[in-house]
Amino acid sequence: MTPVPIYQIDAFTQRVFGGNPAALVPLESWLPDAQLQSISAENNLSETVFLVRSEGTDADFAMRWFTPTHEVELCGHATLASAWWLFHHGGWAAESVTFDTQSGVLSAQRYGSQVEIDLPSRPSEPDMSARDELAAALGCAPTEVRRGANWIAVFDDESSVRTLNPDFRALAALHPLGVIVTAPGEQVDIVSRYFAPSFGIDEDPVTGSAHADLAPYWSARLNKDQLSARQLSARGGELELHFDAQRVKLRGDCRLFLRGEILLP
């Protein structure tokens, strides 16, 4: 059997068992896609991220993300976790690191004990066509619906988001997009939850990529380019956002939960 290192890192949190866990698998070279997907399904976390050292490109590493059922084009928390591990445990001495991904080259830099990652902004447009279906699946009617990389269902207050009890099968049947629910926060600028049952994730604990969708909307609505955010999942997570029209910078902390080996046949 061939041993492959694996790490499990809780992202967007200052404590183990908080935030969003990501599995990180650094590789010397790419495994077959089917094997990457099988490892991700076996981990059964919202994302497993794979890293290979880049040569002859502008990025330091090539990066790919997989849910238990699909490869995805953008994942914030696993990117944060990867950079944090490189800075704190992987021997990466530089102040920044870059990743070549399906969403272009992403960068991360040290920010004290935290890490700041740079993601593409993903604007959305008003689209009320699925309001009734979303209301039925979520159990509560949003005041506004938008569509971009995900559906965004906007509510009036934090309590409405916190108490939602969605029908995940109905959400999965709605459309092969994730569903972000969001509202103004009581102690932070914005709160949210994220549901993606069609990608094998009923509710994601803390979703960096969803905040690439939320930042342009809330920055315009609140007339602020610096936003504090909280994701209201059972594990919960805290994020600091900076929006500059084309990019969204997310800042957070991580904690290493597990290190081990995968024994590949």
Question: Considering Cα of 110, then 19, then 213, then 72, what sign does the dihedral take?
Answer: positive
pLDDT at 113: 86
Tell me 197's DSSP state.
G
Q: Could you report the per-residue pLDDT of 35-89, keeping only the tens digit for each?
A: 999 999 999 999 999 999 998 778 999 999 999 999 999 999 999 999 999 999 9
Would you list the domain boundaries of the chain?
2-120+251-264, 125-245
Residue 214, H or E segment = helix 208-222
pLDDT for residue 55? 80
Catalytic, 28? Answer: no
Average pLDDT over residues 204-222: 95
Answering whether pTM is above 0.95, one says no
Report the pLDDT averaged over residues 211-234: 96
28, 42, 47, 55: the active-site residue: 47
Calculate helix-pair angle for 76-88, 208-222, nearest 10 degrees.
110
Q: Is the pLDDT of residue 122 over 80?
A: yes
Q: Evaluate whether 2-120+251-264 and 125-245 have a shared fold.
A: yes
- The set of residues, in sequence order, having a beta carbon less than 8 Å from that of 2 and lying 6+ positions away, is 263, 264, 265
Level-2 CATH architecture, domain 2-120+251-264:
Roll (3.10)
CATH 2.60.120.380 correct for 125-245: no
